[in-house]
Amino acid sequence: MKHKWLLACTMMVIFVLSGCGKTVEEQIDSGIANAENVFKADAEETNKTIGEIKLYVPTRYNVKQSDDLNDSNNLILTKGKDQYLLFVNEHEKADSKLHYELLKKDQTKKIIKEEIIEEDEAFGFTAIVEADEEHYELIVSSGGAKISTITEQKKIDTKLEDMMAIVRSVQLKE
């Protein structure tokens, strides 16, 4: 219970501060730090089950399975006009570096900043990639789960935190 109150208070402070006109660099630094804290904390309790995937979906987010019937491990999350793509590879374990290695091999990606996180035999990372002059691709991964979005230059910090909370919570139904 204390953890949830602390997380709620932290998110409220972040929400208030995000309206104070942080630069993109400040949002990125803050977002990476927030994502690392979420990764190292206990995973959020799952509150949705879509197909074979159980996960935590933050308030004001909607989630649905991909329309492609052959793609049952892809989920689409939306919040307002923002769209997030969640991919779950059921063959990868918590310490999988597959998504990170694929990102690093892609020479077309201009990585602005990245952070690797390793904790208790789990591997994760956060990366910000320049999509164009006004947009960034945010990528967050934990083990076999990866979520990404294309976003404008605002609320990057809170988006990265939410994204890490989502991927850290992913479980497959047994």
Query: What pLDDT does residue 2 have?
Result: 55
**What ranges do the domains of the chain cover?**
2-172
Question: What's the Rg (C-alpha) of the chain?
Answer: 15
Give, for all 174 residues of the chain, the pLDDT tens digit.
Answer: 555 555 554 555 555 555 557 899 999 999 999 999 999 999 999 999 998 899 999 999 999 887 765 677 899 999 999 999 999 998 999 999 999 999 999 999 999 999 999 998 999 999 999 999 889 999 999 999 999 999 998 899 999 999 999 999 999 877
From 1.10.530, 1.10.10, 3.40.50, 3.40.1000, which CATH number describes the 2-172 domain?
3.40.1000
| Sequential DSSP letters for 58-111 | -TT-EEEE-S-TT-TTEEEEEETTEEEEEEE-TT--TT--HHHHHHHH-TT-EE
Query: What pLDDT does residue 42 have?
Result: 93
